[in-house]
Homo-oligomer: A and B are copies of this chain.
Amino acid sequence: MAYRRSPRVQQRLEDNRNRILSAARSLVAQGGFREASIVAVADAADMSTGAVYRYFPSKSDLFVELLTDAVQRECAILRAIIARPATAPDRLAAAVESFARRALSGPWLAYAFIIEPVDPEVEAARLVCRREFGSVFKEVVRQGVASGEFPEQSANVSAACIVGAFTEALARPVTPLAGRISKTRLVGEIVDFCCRAVGASPRTGR
C-alpha cells in the first residue's frame, strides 16, 4: 500500500540533506560553528528550520555528522599516504604536506573542526576525531622510531605536537602566515618543521 519512494524523490531528499550539510559546512567555514545557527543554516540551504529537523534530529547531530565526515575523509587520505612503501620521514612529510595543502583551502573549516568548542555532544565526537587524527601521525612516528629512522620519543606527544603545529600555522581563523609567504613555501616550511621535529635526518631533494 505504501508507495515506493521513487528514485527522483530519493534523489531530492539526498540533495536536501546535502544542501543542509553543505550550507552548514559553508557557514562554519566562514565564521565557525558560532555563525551556524539552525536558522542561518536553514536560510543558507533555502529551507525552513523545520525541514532541517527532518534530516537531522538536533543541531548537535548535524554538526557531529559534519565533523565526522570531514575527519574520516581526511584520515582516509592520510592513512593511504602513510601506508605507501617509503621511508618514515618521507611518509610523514607527504602526510603533513597533503593535509596542509587541503587545510589552506578552508582555514576556518579546519579551525572549527579541530579547535572550536561547541556543545558536549559535538565535543565528544571531536575527541574521537582528534584521536583518529593523532593516531595517524602517531603511527608513522612509532614506525620511524622502531626502524631507527627517528630518535626515541613519545609518539603520543609528538603526534599531538605535529597536529598542533600545522593547525596553528594553517587553521587560525585569520591565518597569520598565509598572507605573507606563498602557500607552497608555507607548506614546505611546515613539512620541514615537522620532519625535523620528529628527528628525521635532513631531507634531501626538495
Interface presence of A161 (CB below 8 A)? yes
B32 adjacent to A157 (CB under 8 Å): no
Closest to A189 in B: B157
Among listed A58-66, A67-75, A81-89, A123-131, interface-contacting one? A123-131
A32 interface neighbour in B117, B154, B163, B198, Cβ under 8 Å: B117
B196 adjacent to A181 (CB under 8 Å): no
Closest to A124 in B: B174
Using an 8 Å CB-CB cutoff, how does the interface string of A1-29 with B read, 1 for contact, 0 for none?
Answer: 11000000000000000000000000000
CB distance from A160 to the nearest CB of B (A): 4
Count of chain A residues near B, Cβ 8 A: 50
Interface presence of A121 (CB below 8 A)? no
Closest to A161 in B: B165
A156 adjacent to B168 (CB under 8 Å): no
List residues of chain B with CB within 8 A of the CB of A177: 156-157, 160
Closest to A165 in B: B161
A161 adjacent to B168 (CB under 8 Å): yes
Interface presence of A162 (CB below 8 A)? yes
